[in-house]
Amino acid sequence: MAGVNSCIKYSMFIFNFVFWLSGILILALAIWIRVNKHEQELLSNEDSDMNPFTGVNILIAVGAAIMLMGFLGCCGAIKESRCMLLLFFIGLLLILLMQVAAGIVGASFKSESDRLLNETLSKNVQLLKETDGKAKSFQEALNKYQKELKCCGLIHGPSDWGDNFQQYYQSCECPDNSESPCMTYEGKNVYKTSCFTLIKDLVKKHIAIIIGVAFGLTLVEIFGLVFSMILFCQIGKR
């Protein structure tokens, strides 16, 4: 009877070890985006039923599932267990189908997600003029992004801060050698550009990373399905 091809066996093991490491990386990346306090403050909107972090939550689940599948595939390859390989194949196929479904849903609701982001940022601009606890958290979040993105205010510029401008103007200050456009407001030299578009671009960049990871995973998963089925069939012919 035909034996198991050692090349296929150890290729399957190496592939699944890399697959397991990829799951750890995806999980770490998704958790980092999800727990970013400042982004949560900027994108939270109590009046909306939609969660802007839904895609990240899905990626956390996918990362955890990939770690489990990678471990199962490694064990199945080394032990030459048809049961483990079959479970690996079914689990990986389900993950692949869920990714395809999530991609279709995400593409169909792209305009809705853009509307949600615009609506959330537009409503939250009112928090810059307030002084309660929720407003303070949002102000601290925007304060961080003003310095990082070289902008001032959320939509209309420094005037968005109202009476709170003098408290937070330091992150808006525009140095004389700055390449970004500057303006004078209440005696301070600050960035002229508002943060609205820049924050939207940052969020879209994160979404692009998630989409890129998902596409890369699709190719890896297809190879995993092929390897596991070849090894499964070879073990059955022994």
- The pTM for the full model equals 0.63
Q: Is residue 124 part of a domain?
A: no
Cα angle 226-230-235, degrees, rounded to a multiple of 5:
150
Q: How far apart are CA 12 and CA 6, in angstroms?
A: 10
Query: Taking Cα atoms as reference points, which of 176, 183, 174 lies closest to residue 146?
Result: 174
**pLDDT tens track, the chain, 238 positions:** 445 667 777 777 888 888 788 888 878 877 877 776 556 556 655 544 445 566 667 778 878 888 888 888 888 888 888 888 888 888 888 888 877 777 776 666 666 667 777 777 777 888 888 888 778 888 888 888 888 889 999 888 999 999 999 988 899 999 887 778 899 998 899 999 888 888 888 877 877 777 777 777 788 788 888 888 888 888 877 6
pLDDT at 152: 92
Written as six digits, the tokens of 193 are: 């550009």
In this structure, the answer to whether residues 70 and 101 fall within a common structural domain is: yes
In this structure, the answer to whether residues 95 and 19 fall within a common structural domain is: yes
Chain mean position to CA 127 = 26
Neighbour-count burial for 20-36, b at 16+ CB within 10 Å, e otherwise? bebbeebbebbeebeeb
pLDDT at 109: 65
Q: How far apart are CA 5 and CA 11, in angstroms?
A: 10
The domain containing residue 56 runs over which residues? 6-115+200-236
Q: How far apart are CA 119 and CA 124, in angstroms?
A: 9
In this structure, the answer to whether residues 42 and 27 fall within a common structural domain is: yes
In this structure, the answer to whether residues 108 and 208 fall within a common structural domain is: yes
pLDDT at 48: 46
pLDDT at 4: 63
In this structure, the answer to whether residues 110 and 12 fall within a common structural domain is: yes
